[in-house]
Structure 1
Amino acid sequence: MTIQINLNQPPFSFLDADQLDWLTSRLDLVFFNAGAPILQQGDQAPGIYIIYKGVVEERDPENGQVFSQYGKEDLFDVRAVLEKSCKHTFAAVEETLCYLLRADDFIQLLEQSGDFSVYFNTDLGTQQSMVERQDSSVSEFILSRVDDDVIRPPVYVSAQTSLARVAALMFEKKHDALLVRNGQDIGILTGTDLIKATLIGDKTKQTRAADIAQFNLIGVEYGEFLFSALLKMTQHKIERVVVRKEGQIVGLLELMDMLSTFSTHSHIIAMRIDQAKSLKELVVAAKRVETLIETLNGQGVKITALMELVTTLNRRLIFKAFELIFPQRLRQSVCILVLGSEGRGEQILKTDQDNAIILDNEHDREAVLPLLQQLHQALLDFGYPPCPGGVMFINDSWIHTVEGWQERVDRWLHSGKPDAMMNMAIFMDGEPVCGNPELFWPIKASWQLETLRSSIVSARFAKSALQFETPLTFLGNIREDHGKIDIKKGAIFPLVHGVRALAFEHAIDECNSLERLAILTEKGVLDSETAQGLRDALVFFLRVRLRQQLESETPNRGLSQQLDINQLRSVDRNMLRHALHRVKKFKQQLVQHFHLENF
């Protein structure tokens, strides 16, 4: 029998060629009329079904609630086979053809293939990792780890060693950096440090090594991925890190050693940003970030690492533009904030601008306004479209002094109106990226006052998480929006805002949703299983959205929130269902927690 479905995708692609051939030989084709029952509650399933044509609906027999609809190449009901009993009912919505893999044959494959078995007996996060590993044309760089092949053994000198002796050792050992012992402290001294101290500065050959060494060492663990080390170098603007193993320094990892072995562009972009002398040069660097995203996504870099890297590069872009535009005398008199997904560090492809500014003194407004127009234009040139809602520092509503912002926060929270609460939510995700960050902390402290975070205010703040429906009933056989769902409204926003509402209630400082989830778990607000499920769901939503955005040929691809269900493989639709169920359950928890049925 010729098989008319694609088995060269997860989970069947976890089988080897012989197992796949055997599976193909064991499949039977079965037909169901429209409305015909396939499985009833309590039935022992004859096997797992793979839909070739048609639609199957899963319902709760007690209340008729539709859990899912299954379409071409979707599987059901694995749980009924593993648990020996069907929990729900399954019926054909229209004339349906399915391939049936008998229960005994399915169990035999689970016993023969480790990955195949793990996929069906694990959580959403592990399933994602397995699928990503198979999907990606993973480069050697992404899979490589920090080990003896890439690190240099450490060379130590004492605190009293002269700079002349340090230079001689560097030449002798062919190292550009040595470690300096100063009592219990260990610092680092580089060739660049030597040049600055002796040729540019006032140090002599007899100066002690400890006098110019840097003791705030940045390190990575032996065995970490090389990409993690590169990310730290990019974030801290350094070209080497120390490598630790069980707490002890075992070597140095140099950027040049890494780049001589593996090709990557993130550090080159970062250096171009730092060295830029004009906004035109910054625009060139900004345009390379999107190419970097496509490359690293194709190479299998995890979405969380990609977010962190892109956040670092984008904030350096904005900071450098700020330095080029704002005169020195005004830089400490203002604080530029990025808000929304950029503030949370969850933006990958550029979306619309969300930003604000804090003035130290109202008298500076007149001098600052034309500079903000220049910075706004620079962001447009970098690829950030204007915010449709006007949340930008060029608008009066988003320019205030510290006192002005504190009053505005107070008005938002006391108003309780949906627009005011959404403004508060956007502002709550603010992170300072330019100017004087000290201007922001008293404003942030103002909404963490217990008097402003009453149960009523917290409930009003949380209510927005319920404003969009979870699009579960459209899966598999979407009946509107031409087969598309709005992944932001239906999935990402309710999850992110629900987590944000809990963070608001408990005065949590962190902005990133994944970090907020970790802290909420530590505080006992969420149990570990719920938090991990939400984390896995958010990572999946971001990954599947990015994949379709990168495949789009429209301008401003980052603005696209429409997820085309028909472009998803069965395995992705299945994970999407699971992730959406997590969001739906989380919204129900929010209703109970904040008593939202009263609002």
Structure 2
Amino acid sequence: MARPLPATPLIALDAVVLDLETTGLDVRSARIVQVGAVRLSEGHAAEDGALSLLVDPGEPIPPASTAIHGVGNDAVAGAPGPSEALAQIAAFAGERIVIGHTIGFDLAVLKAESARAGAPWKRPRSLDTRVLAQVANPDLPGFGMEVIAGWLGVRLRDRHSAIGDALTTADLFLALIPHLRDRGIRTLAEAEAACKRLADAAAAQPGGWEEPVVAPRAERERGLARIDSYPYRHRIADVMTSPVLFGEAAMPLVQAARQMADQRISSLILPDEGEGYGIVTERDVLRAIARDGAAALDRPVGAIATRPLRTVPAEAFIYRAVGRMNRLKVRHLGVRDEAGALVGAISARDLLRLRATEAISLGDAIDDARNVAALAAAWARLPAVAESLVAEDVDARAIAGVISRELGAATRQAAVLAEAKLRQEGLGDPPVPYALLVLGSAGRGESLLALDQDNAIVFAEGEPDGPEDRYFARLGAEIADALHAIAVPYCKGGVMARNPAWRGSLATWHGRVASWLERSRPEDLLSVDIFFDLRAVHGESGLAHRLLADAQEGARGSLAFLKLLAEAGGKIHSPFGLFGALRTEDGRLDLKMSGLFPVVTAARILAIRHGIAERSTPRRLEGLRKRQVGAGADLERLVAAHAVLLKRVLAQQIEDIHDGVPPSNKVKVKALGRAEQSELKDALAAIGQVPHIVRDLMF
């Protein structure tokens, strides 16, 4: 079983919920008389296979204790002793997180029993529902199991029996998750940090208290697997060598084989005949000949084709193709451009130097998630992959590209799950073709680990609040809820397809963009800028392509709009204080507001103004330089500064995730070395010139 990941959303936690009944409440003398444990996986308690065990403590059970839990001396006669009970608990729990109500008491008892038995003791990582309830609702009159269950509407199960209390605790934990999420406690590490408050309760507990443990730094470093960074630094378009060779389904097999041999390629694509493109590979040809002999050569190639052809985007990273081939057990994939057109093919031969490690399979684990909890479990791998890439000294811009692609993939899979849910509810399939869009940093390929949702929907036709719009409103709400559940929070600014302003038909969107171009106040354009970073992640990408192209063309011709867009971004607040020192708040500096936001906004506006159809900030700035718009040295400094800021923010976010601190864009300046601080100051100084550059290059 894999080691628990700190970024695992609570809904996806693989855990054991444990409860002990004992001879007393003083851990120095309390002995186990009953064990109850149930496994928790993908948001459900597995009642089948639960551990329910009576234990002979080796001494009389006090009548006062029996009066509470009902376990007397006769009940435990002939039951296994503490040593066997400890072994069964260890085997049942493995390396899973242990959850309990006042779990510190149970852990202290287990430690004492281990000492008596001469058995090794290792504190498990643990969560306490009592403390989590206090975090989720500090105004409760008390934090006993009955009070918390009453607040959450959870039914008590056979109270004061070990298995009954374990099952009740499992229900409490699952019911607490949405309340914790509302308090900013979304992941295992964040919940562990909250549970450190158990230490404050130690003095109130008779006989001691076993504090919870989180993964120490040494364990984190040992668990940081080396990773082949090549598939994360290169895109499919970089290695795609197989051109698209089309053939007719009626073509004799011998002719298809001859074409593949002449072109020195290993596959032939057949046209879409209603079931998607087909593919015939050299292996298919050999199998047909082996099965039917020479007669196979005269048969139509369409008879042995596989449909539909599985595809990947040309701009996807290589690890995506490796993982997909591994999961689907195929050796060829079609490659599509941004508009959805088939532009090539990629084969296992092209990727021979790569292997489908667990990390590389990250993307397909997201694509294959069958429910929200499975999606959350797959999503939890992302920070670990990012951390491994940082350790391999991969450029932060490439890592941001990986994070962005997986955020897009998670958004797409949330839509797939939402569509399935609406079908189950009798609402049917989407009434018209549509495209689900990601905006902002996800669209630009510059997302880091402090994520929220920025998404939109464009559909082929339909009026506001019409039947089509109502369907997509519901779909957008389901998508938003699923992403929120996997620890991608709701957008605080409301930029989500569930809100009317961020969904609509193509005609509605055209009208919306036209109204933006006519605005006269910068405050009327808040959040509009990220629209111009849009990227389709699901559905009919052609709708998104048309919408963005038309919007860019309209905006390019409106200097007044672009100036308002620049003003809407606000003024750059200098991060420098007296004598050039960096000004911080609580020891941290917000590098998004002080640096990333100004350079991203400037690159976006200037790219629109000069007709540069790129999304990422570096490519937009490079596009300006290639067109000799402005001073090349100034633009190169901005590109370099952007990379420095991404690197610093990403490193801080990884550290915060391990510490159970919600990741943000605020960096601990004093934790940086002298060279790092100097590099950061140079980057921020370069970005301080952005207003002058924008003014010079706008016209």
Aligned to 2:571: 467
Inter-partner Cα distance in structure 1 for 2:581 and 2:263: 69
Aligned to 1:292: 385
Given that residues 279 and 321 in structure 1 are in contact (C-alpha distance below 8 angstroms), is that contact kept between their aligned partners in structure 2? yes
Given that residues 599 and 638 in structure 2 are in contact (C-alpha distance below 8 angstroms), is that contact kept between their aligned partners in structure 1? yes
Inter-partner Cα distance in structure 1 for 2:482 and 2:611: 34
Q: Give a deviation string over 1:65-123, Cα, whole Å, max 9, x none.
A: xxxxxxxxxxxxxxxxxxxxxxxxxxxxxxxxxxxxxxxxxxxxxxxxxxxxxxxxxxx
Q: Give a deviation string over 1:170-214, Cα, whole Å, max 9, x none.
A: xxxxxxxx9933458774765886799999xxx984357798599
Aligned to 2:504: 400
Inter-partner Cα distance in structure 2 for 1:545 and 1:401: 37
Amino acid corresponding to residue 576 of structure 2 in structure 1: L
Query: SS state of the match for residue 343, structure 1?
Result: helix
- Residue 231 (structure 1) shift: 5.7
1:317 lines up with 2:410 in the alignment: yes
Aligned to 2:136: none
1:501 lines up with 2:605 in the alignment: yes
Give 1:335's match in structure 2, choosing from 435, 438, 454.
435
Inter-partner Cα distance in structure 1 for 2:478 and 2:436: 14
Amino acid corresponding to residue 495 of structure 1 in structure 2: V
- Residue 586 (structure 1) shift: 2.7
Given that residues 337 and 430 in structure 1 are in contact (C-alpha distance below 8 angstroms), is that contact kept between their aligned partners in structure 2? yes
- Residue 344 (structure 1) shift: 1.0
Give 2:675's match in structure 1, choosing from 564, 571, 579.
571
Inter-partner Cα distance in structure 2 for 1:380 and 1:140: 29
Inter-partner Cα distance in structure 2 for 1:379 and 1:594: 38
Inter-partner Cα distance in structure 1 for 2:521 and 2:661: 32
Give 2:447's match in structure 1, choosing from 322, 335, 347.
347
| Structure 1 residues 483 and 193: CA distance shift in structure 2, 3 A | farther
Amino acid corresponding to residue 689 of structure 2 in structure 1: K
Given that residues 656 and 662 in structure 2 are in contact (C-alpha distance below 8 angstroms), is that contact kept between their aligned partners in structure 1? no
- Residue 162 (structure 1) shift: 5.8
1:269 lines up with 2:346 in the alignment: no
Query: SS state of the match for residue 444, structure 1?
Result: helix
1:357 lines up with 2:457 in the alignment: yes
Query: SS state of the match for residue 265, structure 1?
Result: coil
Amino acid corresponding to residue 518 of structure 2 in structure 1: H
| Structure 1 residues 285 and 140: CA distance shift in structure 2, 3 A | closer
Aligned to 2:557: 453
1:141 lines up with 2:228 in the alignment: yes
Aligned to 1:538: 642
| Structure 1 residues 476 and 570: CA distance shift in structure 2, 3 A | farther
Aligned to 1:258: 354
Aligned pairs for 1:54-453 within 5 A? 139=226, 141-142=228-229, 180-183=260-263, 187=267, 190=281, 205-206=296-297, 212=305, 229-230=318-319, 233=322, 253=349, 258-259=354-355, 264-326=357-419, 327=423, 329-330=429-430, 332-360=432-460, 361-362=462-463, 363-449=467-553, 453=557
Given that residues 607 and 620 in structure 2 are in contact (C-alpha distance below 8 angstroms), is that contact kept between their aligned partners in structure 1? yes
- Residue 542 (structure 1) shift: 0.4
Q: Give a deviation string over 1:30-67, Cα, whole Å, max 9, x none.
A: xxxxxxxxxxxxxxxxxxxxxxxxxxxxxxxxxxxxxx
Aligned to 2:616: 512
Q: Give a deviation string over 1:519-547, Cα, whole Å, max 9, x none.
A: 22222224432222211111110011110
- Residue 289 (structure 1) shift: 1.6
Pairs aligned (count): 422
Query: SS state of the match for residue 330, structure 1?
Result: coil
| Structure 1 residues 547 and 186: CA distance shift in structure 2, 3 A | same
- Residue 421 (structure 1) shift: 2.8
Per the normalisation by structure 2, the TM-score is 0.52
RMSD across aligned C-alpha pairs, in angstroms? 4.6
Inter-partner Cα distance in structure 2 for 1:484 and 1:309: 26
Inter-partner Cα distance in structure 1 for 2:378 and 2:530: 28
Given that residues 273 and 282 in structure 1 are in contact (C-alpha distance below 8 angstroms), is that contact kept between their aligned partners in structure 2? yes
Greater gyration radius: 2
- Residue 460 (structure 1) shift: 2.1
| Structure 1 residues 298 and 558: CA distance shift in structure 2, 3 A | farther
Inter-partner Cα distance in structure 2 for 1:541 and 1:353: 22
5+ residue gaps, structure 1: 1-136, 167-177, 221-226, 243-248
Given that residues 253 and 300 in structure 2 are in contact (C-alpha distance below 8 angstroms), is that contact kept between their aligned partners in structure 1? yes
Amino acid corresponding to residue 639 of structure 2 in structure 1: R
Per the normalisation by structure 1, the TM-score is 0.60
1:585 lines up with 2:699 in the alignment: no
Aligned to 1:115: none
| Structure 1 residues 571 and 208: CA distance shift in structure 2, 3 A | farther
Inter-partner Cα distance in structure 2 for 1:289 and 1:340: 19
Given that residues 187 and 217 in structure 1 are in contact (C-alpha distance below 8 angstroms), is that contact kept between their aligned partners in structure 2? no
Inter-partner Cα distance in structure 2 for 1:374 and 1:143: 36
Q: Give a deviation string over 1:530-569, Cα, whole Å, max 9, x none.
A: 2222111111100111101111148996751212211111
- Residue 140 (structure 1) shift: 7.4
| Structure 1 residues 350 and 334: CA distance shift in structure 2, 3 A | farther
Amino acid corresponding to residue 400 of structure 1 in structure 2: G
Given that residues 240 and 255 in structure 1 are in contact (C-alpha distance below 8 angstroms), is that contact kept between their aligned partners in structure 2? no
5+ residue gaps, structure 2: 1-223, 269-279, 335-344
Given that residues 583 and 589 in structure 2 are in contact (C-alpha distance below 8 angstroms), is that contact kept between their aligned partners in structure 1? no
Query: SS state of the match for residue 560, structure 1?
Result: coil
| Structure 1 residues 143 and 511: CA distance shift in structure 2, 3 A | closer
Given that residues 484 and 564 in structure 1 are in contact (C-alpha distance below 8 angstroms), is that contact kept between their aligned partners in structure 2? yes
Identity across matched positions, percent: 22
| Structure 1 residues 217 and 564: CA distance shift in structure 2, 3 A | closer
Given that residues 336 and 435 in structure 1 are in contact (C-alpha distance below 8 angstroms), is that contact kept between their aligned partners in structure 2? yes
Given that residues 181 and 187 in structure 1 are in contact (C-alpha distance below 8 angstroms), is that contact kept between their aligned partners in structure 2? no
Query: SS state of the match for residue 180, structure 1?
Result: helix
- Residue 485 (structure 1) shift: 1.9
Amino acid corresponding to residue 180 of structure 1 in structure 2: M
| Structure 1 residues 252 and 384: CA distance shift in structure 2, 3 A | closer
Given that residues 397 and 646 in structure 2 are in contact (C-alpha distance below 8 angstroms), is that contact kept between their aligned partners in structure 1? no
Query: SS state of the match for residue 335, structure 1?
Result: strand
Given that residues 465 and 495 in structure 1 are in contact (C-alpha distance below 8 angstroms), is that contact kept between their aligned partners in structure 2? no
Inter-partner Cα distance in structure 1 for 2:485 and 2:674: 39
Q: Give a deviation string over 1:404-442, Cα, whole Å, max 9, x none.
A: 222222222211322333332021111111222233344
Amino acid corresponding to residue 387 of structure 1 in structure 2: C
Tell me which of the two structures has the higher relative contact order, counting C-alpha pairs closer than 8 angstroms and 6 or more residues apart.
Answer: 1
- Residue 255 (structure 1) shift: 5.4
Given that residues 239 and 255 in structure 1 are in contact (C-alpha distance below 8 angstroms), is that contact kept between their aligned partners in structure 2? no
Given that residues 562 and 605 in structure 2 are in contact (C-alpha distance below 8 angstroms), is that contact kept between their aligned partners in structure 1? yes
Range with bigger deviation, 561-570 or 355-364: 355-364
Aligned to 2:47: none
Inter-partner Cα distance in structure 2 for 1:583 and 1:343: 22
- Residue 444 (structure 1) shift: 2.2
| Structure 1 residues 527 and 265: CA distance shift in structure 2, 3 A | farther
| Structure 1 residues 234 and 503: CA distance shift in structure 2, 3 A | farther
Query: SS state of the match for residue 526, structure 2?
Result: helix
